[in-house]
Amino acid sequence: MDVYGRLIAADEQLLALGLLRRGDSQFTRTAQRLAGWLNDYQVSMPSAQRLFLMDELRALAPDAAAFPTWSAERLAAQFVESEPPRPGNPALESCRLPNLWRLASPDRRVMALYSGESVVAATASVLAEQNRQAGPRFAVSPPGDEEGRPGGPPHYGESIAAGPMLPGWQVSFSLLNAQPFDEAARRRRDAYLWAGYLAVAAMALTGLLAGQSIRRQARLARLKTDLVATVSHELKTPLASMRLLVETLLEDGFQDEKAAREYLEMIAGENLRLSRLIENFLTFSRMERNRRKFDFAKTTAEEVIQPAMLAMRERLRGPERRIEVEVSPGLPPLWADRDALVTVLLNLLDNAYKYTGREKRISLRASCQDGHVIFAVTDNGIGIAPRERKRIFRRFYQVDRRLARETGGCGLGLSIVDFIVRAHGGEVNVESRPGAGSTFRVSLPCETGAHA
C-alpha cells in the first residue's frame, strides 16, 4: 500500500498492460490477474482505486473485463460525490441523485443504494411470489409518480400504501379476470336499483293510501254535513206544513167541514211522510252500527203488498194517478221479515211517485221465477241514465239534487232497499231509460230456497 492506502501491485499490473502488446500471452494473463483482484473484495483497496482500475481495464482488455459490481461501484461513487455520507434510517429514503434510494442497516453502519428500477423489480418479484393465482396484478410506484414514468410499470385504478419500509411508495393493482367482480358489481347495482324502485313504490303507495284516506275522511265529513242538513230540511218541511194546516183549522174554527177534512187528510199525509222519513233514518242508523235485526218468519207476497198499498192509497188518489197491482196466483211463501219487505216496497213506490210527472202510472207486480219471488215496481217517470244505475244504491247519492229538493228525499231509500234485500239473500236491479220510466225488480228466495 502507498501512503494513501492504494494497492501498489494493482497499479503496477495496469502499467504492465500498457507496456505489453495485445497479442502477447503475458498481456492476457496480466489482464485476467488484475480482473481477478478487482472482483475479489477480499483484496483490500479503496473504492475509488477499484472503480478507476475497472474503467481502465475495460478500455484496454474488454474481453477480460467482466465486472458484476461495476454499476454498483459507479453508483456509490456518484452518491459520495453528490452528498456526504451520514447515518441513514432503517427505511427507504430518497437521495439527491435522481431515481436513487438508500436503505441503512438497523445499526446504521451499512448503507445500501438502490435505483428506482431495482426497487420496482424487487417488490414486483415479492408480490408476484405472494400472488401466484390468476387474480390481481400488482405494480409499485415511487412517491410523486402519480402519472407514471415513461417506460415504467403501468398504473391501475386502485392503490394503497406500500408500508413503513417504503414510505410514500404506492402499490396499485388490476385484475386479470374482472368478470367475477363485474358480476358482483352488477348484482349489487341491480340490488340498489330494486331497492330504490321498491322505496319509490312504497312511498307512492303510502302517498296514494294517505290521499285516499284524506279523501275518505273529507267525503265522510261532507256526508255528515249533508246528513245533518238533509235531516234538518226533511224534518222541517212536514212539520212546517202540519203547523200551517193546524193554524188554518184553528182560525177557521172547523166552519167548513169539507175543507177541514181536506186539511186533516193533508196533515195525515204529512204525518205519514214524517213517520216514513224517521223510520228511514232509524234504519240507516241501525245499518251503520250493524244492529239491524230481522224477524224472519213465513210470509206471503200478499201480506207484504197489502200494507204497502194501504200506506200509499191516499197519495195515489186522483184522476191522473193510477196504480196497478198484479199478483200471480199460487206464489210460494217467503222466509222473511214482513215489515222490512213492506219498507222495501214503500221506498220503491215512493220513488216511483216522486220521480214521475203530473200523470202518474205506476204498477206493482209479483211473480215467481226459478225459485224466487219477484217484486217489480214500474213507473212512467224521468228514468235513469246508464252511468247512474250502479250509483243510485249508494248512501246519500241523488241523481238530480235539484229535483230531490223539490220532491223531498235524502238519498237513503234505495240504499236501505239494497241492504234489506241482501240481508234476505236476494238482489235488486233496475232497468231504465232517460225519459222512458224505470222498473225496479226485487228477487227474493222462496221459503224452501231460504232454508236450503
Please give the pLDDT value at position 290: 62
Please give the pLDDT value at position 443: 93
Each residue's pLDDT tens digit in the chain (452 positions)? 888 888 889 889 889 988 888 888 889 888 889 889 989 888 888 888 888 998 998 888 888 778 898 888 888 888 888 877 677 677 778 788 887 888 877 776 788 888 878 888 887 777 777 666 555 666 777 776 654 444 444 445 567 777 777 777 777 766 656 677 678 888 899 999 999 999 999 999 999 999 888 988 887 777 667 666 666 656 666 677 778 778 777 777 667 777 777 777 777 767 766 776 677 666 666 666 565 677 889 999 999 998 888 877 767 777 777 888 889 988 999 999 888 898 889 888 888 888 888 888 888 999 998 889 999 999 888 888 877 777 787 766 665 555 444 545 556 778 888 888 888 899 998 888 888 888 999 999 987 644 43
Residues in CB range of 303: below 8 A, 6 or more apart: 338
What letters, b where the CB count within 10 A reaches 16 and e where it falls short, cover 180-205? eeeeeeeeeeeeeeeeeeeeeeeeee
Please give the pLDDT value at position 191: 92
Report the C-alpha gap between 188 and 114 in whole angstroms: 45
Element (H, E) at 358: none
Element (H, E) at 431: strand 427-432
Please give the pLDDT value at position 152: 45
Report the C-alpha gap between 402 and 398 in whole angstroms: 9
Whether residue 421 contacts residue 427, with contact meaning beta carbons closer than 8 Å, is answered with yes
Query: DSSP label at 140?
Result: E
Report the C-alpha gap between 452 and 449 in whole angstroms: 5
Query: DSSP label at 446?
Result: B
Please give the pLDDT value at position 396: 63
Report the C-alpha gap between 234 and 226 in whole angstroms: 12
| Residue 403: closest CA among 423, 386, 383 | 383
Give me the phi and psi of 386, to 5 degrees please.
Answer: -55, -40
CATH superfamily of 293-451: Histidine kinase-like ATPase, C-terminal domain (3.30.565.10)
Domain ranges of the chain: 8-82, 93-177, 293-451
Three-state DSSP at 261 gives helix
Please give the pLDDT value at position 151: 42
Please give the pLDDT value at position 246: 80
Report the C-alpha gap between 337 and 188 in whole angstroms: 66
